[in-house]
Amino acid sequence: MEKLLTADDLAALLNIQKRSVYVARYTRGNLPPAIKVGGLLRFRPSDVETWLANQPASARNIARAEALEKKRSAPRTETE
């Protein structure tokens, strides 16, 4: 049996905030299928892998990822 991922695990894997996982889940956003265990969301790693493989690698998504990477690697200023 595979170890289920928590919302924290999924957020870290997708490099998004945990809150984004819950918002997407409850607004029927684009997320891998979830299981509720004791009222908490859990995700099967195999479902996450399948979901990721089926996500389009559009130019827009690639550009957004590159922009985020540049922003993260840029030195912080005193105002940030």
Residue 31 lies in a domain: yes
Q: Higher-confidence residue: 73 or 44?
A: 44
Q: Where are the alpha helices (DSSP H) in 1-80?
A: 7-14, 18-26, 45-53, 59-73
Q: Which amino acid is at 3?
A: K
Q: Is residue 39 part of a domain?
A: yes
What pLDDT sits at residue 56?
75
Domain extent for 54: 5-73
pTM recorded for the entire structure: 0.66
Asked whether 5 and 48 are in contact (CB, 8 A), the reply is yes
Written as one letter, the residue type at 16 is I
pLDDT on residue 16: 86
Q: Is residue 80 part of a domain?
A: no
Instruction: Give the total number of structural domains in the chain.
Output: 1
Split at pLDDT 50, 70, 90, the class of 3 is very high
Residue 40 lies in a domain: yes
Q: What local confidence, expressed as pLDDT, does residue 52 receive?
A: 85
